[in-house]
Structure 1
Amino acid sequence: MNAKPELDEIQRNVLSRLRKIEGQIRGIQNMVSDGKECEDILIQVRAVRSALKSTTSLILKRYVSTCYDKTMEGGDPAEAKRKMDKTLQVLTNFIDG
């Protein structure tokens, strides 16, 4: 099974989401500059946090898929274990983030 097209689609989705988040951040900057109500600003901050969380999940999905593919390429079990350990380390850093 060739996962490359799926990974490319995830990458396009991530980039699209990041552009949207960038626009949301600019909107928040404008709200602060314009002296908008704190509650309204915080609602937008919460929306950005949620968008970042879902984008992070997609990035991790792509990362794990790519790492798995690279791990399966080689025939050296020690190298495969090293790669999977690195993947697990990255995932562990983001579990509660």
Structure 2
Amino acid sequence: MEESKNQCTCADNSLEHANHSEERAPLVPRTSDEKRKIVNRLKRVEGQVRGIERMVEDDRYCVDILIQLSAVQAALQKIGFSILERHTKTCVAKAIEEGHGEEQINELLKVVKQFK
């Protein structure tokens, strides 16, 4: 059972994995450098959010808070697109090569719709 956690299930067509996406791993594991970059970006966003919290507590001007909120949203979107790009180039491409890409493409399109 432990071995299955290390295997990619992106191309797995079972409903079990479709309903438990948090348990799935990428087809091509992220490198240490990729993980480090993503985590560092997320930590910066976390710092920005804490700064916004202080701005609210200090009763700062609404427009200043909105500008910072916009910056956080942009940063998160950039991180999301980076992960989306990697997923497309690895997991989706591999599933297509192996002849079972339709579910991966549908899943990708569904998540892309969430990125407005």
TM-score, length-scaled by structure 2:
0.61
AA in 2 matched with 1:58: S
> Would you say 1:42 and 2:66 are equivalent positions?
yes
Structure 2: distance between partners of 1:38 and 1:45: 10
Structure 2: distance between partners of 1:32 and 1:24: 13
Aligned to 1:86: 107
Query: Post-superposition shift, 1:45?
Result: 1.2
* Inter-CA distance 86–54: structure 2 relative to 1 (3 Å threshold): same
Structure 1: distance between partners of 2:97 and 2:107: 16
Structure 1: distance between partners of 2:105 and 2:67: 38
- Which of the two has greater helix per residue? 1
Structure 2: distance between partners of 1:73 and 1:11: 26
SS across alignment from 1:29 = helix
- Identity over aligned residues, as a percent? 38
TM-score, length-scaled by structure 1:
0.70
Structure 1: distance between partners of 2:91 and 2:49: 31
List per-residue Cα deviations over 1:31-88 (Å, max 9, x = no partner): 11111222221221121122122112112112212323441563xx3x2322222223
Kindly report structure 1 stretches of 4+ aligned residues shifted beyond 6 Å: none
How large is the Cα RMSD of the aligned pairs?
A: 2.4
Aligned residue pair count: 88
Aligned to 2:41: 17
